[in-house]
Amino acid sequence: MRIPASKYPVERLTLPNGLRVVLTPDRAAPVVGVAVVYDVGIRSEPQGRTGFAHLFEHLMFQGSESLEKLAHFRYVQGSGGTFNGSTHFDYTDYFETLPSNALERALFLEADRMRSPRLTEENLRNQVDVVKEEIRVNVLNRPYGGFPWLRLPPVMFDTFANAHDGYGSFDDLESATVADAADFFDRYYACGNAVLAVSGDFDVATATALIERHFGDVPARPAPVRPDFAEPDLTAERRSSYEDRLAPLPAVAAAWRVPDPITDLEAYLPYVVLAEVLTDGDASRLVERLVLRDRTVTSVGGYVGFMGEPFAVRDPTALVLQAHLPPGGDVDKVLRSVEEECQRIATDGLTPDELSRTQARMATHLLRDTDAVLGRALQMAVLEQQRGEPELLNQLHTLIGGVTEEQVVAAAAELVPSRRAAVEVIAGGAK
């Protein structure tokens, strides 16, 4: 399916201290998006410090070299802007959306905490408590908390980097010290390990001068050597189950390894498309069969990447399918049905218009996600960081459109039980 490329301009530069900068001007509306992405995520955490990447994200909002606690919040909101940050498997991001006349303010704020966040015992203990409460709310006291993104990796993977709990254990969080935080900052929050992206209403020359003014004197530190997270593919099925005392219905999630999304994008893309062919919309293979016809599940979804971000993740990662079942549902029957549908695609191919319909919907979603200036800045920053190709922002939807039926068929043939990791949720809430 031919899908035209978008035409967002992309300018790149690297400051003498190693900070990479990506700019995409768009004068359509007086708004700018600013994003700083650091090449450190859950997989980078050392043993004994589970949850530290997320904890440090919180610490970056607790004041900086020139500003007291909560000042960052006040300056952004006082400019009419919004802000946040988030932790992922392979990176951590910080971002703002503001009126374009507040661009310099955003650049100052990000440079100030890149230079020196306020790492104190008071801030650390306070944010440990905040993160612990977040774990209670989002995982421990929520039905299906951590399912499947925390529950599947330890079934599929063997190494600590890929398999550990990215939210962190209370013991690890409570034992963290200010010295640990300072070491984490020195190692991972270096200019050479970061990308700054700015999108929206600005003049490139003016923005470049502002960036050099505010970031140019941040001390130069090189990026750390990134560990090798590689693991061999599964050769036999792995299964696990656990009881969720709050879950009202049983559930199951299954995952299969996919090709390296960075070094083998051409082989990877068919799996991204296949996940949507299987689960996106009432006409998709698994919704039509499992939900509408067989009624063996109440809902089913599929995506690539344990956090569902196919173009912001490194190898190893997986295609994930998850489903909730009615009371007394048969997990083995559901997994057999998934296997049968994948083999049906592998044997019979796709129906007329099935691929083009899916590709059109995926392209629409990709274009919508980068229509807003902040979505564009975040996508560019990650593409620069992981691939050195922020220009892919204009091409991802066209590459999706270039995936062929033969490639999707070949991908479906790889979703076999011997390569599958699965985790079952036993409902405790129905008792």
Q: How many domains does the chain have?
A: 2
Q: Are 182 and 308 found together in one domain?
A: no
Do residues 90 and 194 both lie within one domain?
Answer: yes
pLDDT the model gives residue 25: 98
pLDDT at 429: 62
Q: Are residues 261 and 319 in the same domain?
A: yes
Same domain, 199 and 248: no
Quote the pLDDT of residue 431.
Answer: 47
132 within some domain: yes
By residue range, what is the domain housing residue 79?
Answer: 11-215
Asked if residue 80 is part of any domain, the answer here is yes
pLDDT at 192: 96
Same-domain check for residues 110 and 211:
yes
Q: How far apart are CA 81 and CA 330, in angstroms?
A: 49
Considering the domain architecture, whether residues 199 and 245 belong to the same structural domain is answered as no
Q: Residues 16, 97: one domain?
A: yes
Q: Report the C-alpha gap between 214 and 31 in whole angstroms.
A: 20
Same domain, 271 and 167: no
Residue 228 lies in a domain: no
Report the pLDDT value the prediction gives residue 312, as an integer from 0 to 100: 97
Residue 25: inside a domain: yes
Query: Would you say residue 1 lies in a domain?
Result: no
Helix axes 265-279, 331-348, angle to 10 degrees: 120
Decide if 5 is inside a domain: no
- Residue ending a domain, choose from 215, 246, 278: 215
Q: Is residue 221 part of a domain?
A: no
For the chain (length 431 residues), average pLDDT per consecutive 10?
Answer: 89 97 97 98 95 97 92 96 97 98 98 96 97 97 97 98 96 97 96 98 98 97 92 97 97 98 98 98 96 98 96 98 97 98 98 93 94 97 97 96 97 98 88 47
Considering the domain architecture, whether residues 91 and 59 belong to the same structural domain is answered as: yes
For residues 267 and 350, state if they share a domain: yes
Do 265 and 196 lie in one domain? The reply is no
* Final residue belonging to a domain, choices 174, 200, 215: 215
CATH classification of the domain holding 15: 3.30.830.10
Question: What's the 3-state SS for the chain?
Answer: CCCCCCCCCCEEEECCCCCEEEEEECCCCCEEEEEEEECCCHHHCCCCCCCHHHHHHHHCCCCECCCCCCHHHHHHHHCCCEEEEEECCCCEEEEEEEEHHHHHHHHHHHHHHHHCECCCHHHHHHHHHHHHHHHHHHHHCCCCCCCCCCCCHHHHCCCHHHHCCCCCCHHHHHCCCHHHHHHHHHHHCCHHHEEEEEEECCCHHHHHHHHHHHHCCCCCCCCCCCCCCCCCCCCCCEEEEEEECCCCCCEEEEEEECCCCCCCHHHHHHHHHHHHHHHCCCCCHHHHHHHHHCCCCCEEEEEECCCCCCCCCCCCCEEEEEEECCCCCCHHHHHHHHHHHHHHHHHHCCCCCHHHHHHHHHHHHHHHHCCCHHHHHHHHHHHHHHHCCHHHHHCHHHHHHCCCHHHHHHHHHCCCHHHEEEEEEEECCCC
Domain termination residue (choose one: 215, 230, 260): 215
Cα 35–chain centre separation:
15
Confirm whether 231 is domain-assigned.
no
Are 188 and 259 in a shared domain?
A: no
User: Is the distance from CB of 341 to CB of 278 less than 8 angstroms?
Assistant: yes
